[in-house]
Structure 1
Amino acid sequence: MLQPKAGIDAGGSLVKFVFQENNKLHYKKYPINQLSAAITWLNITAPNVKVTVTGGKAHLIQQNFFQSAVSVPEFQATCEGARILLLEECKKSDHPFLLVNIGTGTSWYLVAGEKYERILGSGMGGGTFTGLGSLLTKNEEFHDLINLAKQGDKENIDLLVKDIYESAEPPIDGHLTAANFAKGLKVKHSAADRIAAVVNMIAETIVLLTLQAAAIHQVKEVVLIGSTLLGNDSFKTTLEYYLSRLGLKTIYLDKGEYCGAIGAFYFV
Structure 2
Amino acid sequence: MKPAKIGIDAGGSLLKMAFEEQGQIHYKSYSIDELYSSMNWLKMTAADAPIALTGGKAEYLKNEFFQNSRIVPEFESSGMGASYFMKKDGLSYEKFLLISIGTGTSICLNSGGRISRVSGSGIGGGTLMGLGRLLTGEKDFSAFVSLACSGKAENADLMVKDIYAPFNSPIDGSLTASNFGKIKDDHVSKEDKAASLTNMIAETIVLLSTQASVQHQVGDIIYIGSTVQYNEPLKHLLKKYTSMLGKNPVFIQNGAYCGAIGAMLSL
The verdict on a shared fold, with TM-score over 0.5 as the criterion, is yes
CA, structure 1 residues 173+3, in 2 after alignment: closer, same or farther (shift >3 Å)?
closer
Counterpart residue number, 1:49? 49
Q: What is the TM-score normalised by the length of structure 1?
A: 0.96
Counterpart code for 1:211:
T
Counterpart residue number, 1:173? 172
1:185 aligns with 2:187: no
1:3 deviates by 7.2
1:61 aligns with 2:58: no
In terms of mean alpha carbon deviation, does 42-51 or 100-109 score higher?
Answer: 42-51
Q: Tell me, what secondary structure is at the counterpart of 2:184?
A: helix
Conserved 8 A contact 2:229-2:255: no
Counterpart residue number, 1:26? 26
TM-align CA RMSD:
1.4
Question: Superposed, which structure 2 residues align to 1:232-251 within 5 Å?
Answer: 232-251=231-250
Conserved 8 A contact 2:99-2:105: yes
User: What does the per-residue CA deviation read over 1:197-231, in whole Å, with 9 as the maximum and x for residues that have no partner?
Assistant: 00000000011111111111111101110000123
Q: Distance in 2 between matches of 1:59 and 1:187?
A: 45
Counterpart code for 1:13:
S
Counterpart residue number, 1:118? 117
Structure 1 segments (4+ residues) deviating >2 Å: 40-47, 185-188
Conserved 8 A contact 1:156-1:187: no
Question: Superposed, which structure 2 residues align to 1:1-268 within 5 Å?
Answer: 4-93=4-93, 95-186=94-185, 188-268=187-267
Counterpart code for 2:73:
P
Q: Distance in 2 between matches of 1:266 and 1:57?
A: 19
Q: Distance in 1 between matches of 2:5 and 2:21?
A: 9
Conserved 8 A contact 1:6-1:52: yes
Give the gaps of 5 or more residues in structure 2.
Answer: none
Q: Distance in 1 between matches of 2:18 and 2:255?
A: 12
> In percent, how many aligned pairs have the same letter?
45
Q: What is the TM-score normalised by the length of structure 2?
A: 0.96
Counterpart code for 2:112:
G
User: What does the per-residue CA deviation read over 1:11-48, in whole Å, with 9 as the maximum and x for residues that have no partner?
Assistant: 00000111111110110000011111211332354342
Conserved 8 A contact 1:110-1:118: yes
CA, structure 1 residues 187+137, in 2 after alignment: closer, same or farther (shift >3 Å)?
closer
